Amino acid sequence: MCALCGSLGGDEDWTDAVAREGVFTRNDDPARRRRERARRVEVASRVLKLYGLRLSDWQGAAFLLATFTGKSEIVGDLSHLWAAAERLTGATCDPLDPDVLARLDADD
């Protein structure tokens, strides 16, 4: 389901492609899939904390995005993560914002 619009049988996200011939995905093996999801949570969390958000895996099928005050939303994939982050915080999540880039650089 598309978490944003609620359409059943929603989009196949490019970051979570179904394993099939010729397609690159890390969903082709349970261990690889788990490892990839854990990495995404870790990398995305380092960005999301700039907006007062934290991310966790939700039953291996989706992600749970939450504010530090507990407001939360379940998102299906990375492509829907950022619109949800903007809805929860009211902020603009812009990876080209020089302030954001400076804070990411400082976090290294």
Q: Least distance in Å: CB of 34 to other proteins?
A: 11
Whole-angstrom distance, CA of residue 50 vs CA of residue 59: 25
Q: Is 65 in the site for other proteins (CB under 8 A)?
A: no
Tell me the pairing of strands 62-67 and 53-58: antiparallel
| Residue 97: half-sphere exposure toward Cβ, Cα within 13 Å | 12
Q: Is 39 in the site for other proteins (CB under 8 A)?
A: yes
Q: Is 62 in the site for other proteins (CB under 8 A)?
A: no
Report the residue number, 6 or 90, with the smaller CB distance to other proteins. 6
Among 29, 42, 56, 68, binds other proteins (CB under 8 A): 42
Among 30, 60, 90, 95, binds other proteins (CB under 8 A): 95
Whole-angstrom distance, CA of residue 105 vs CA of residue 10: 36
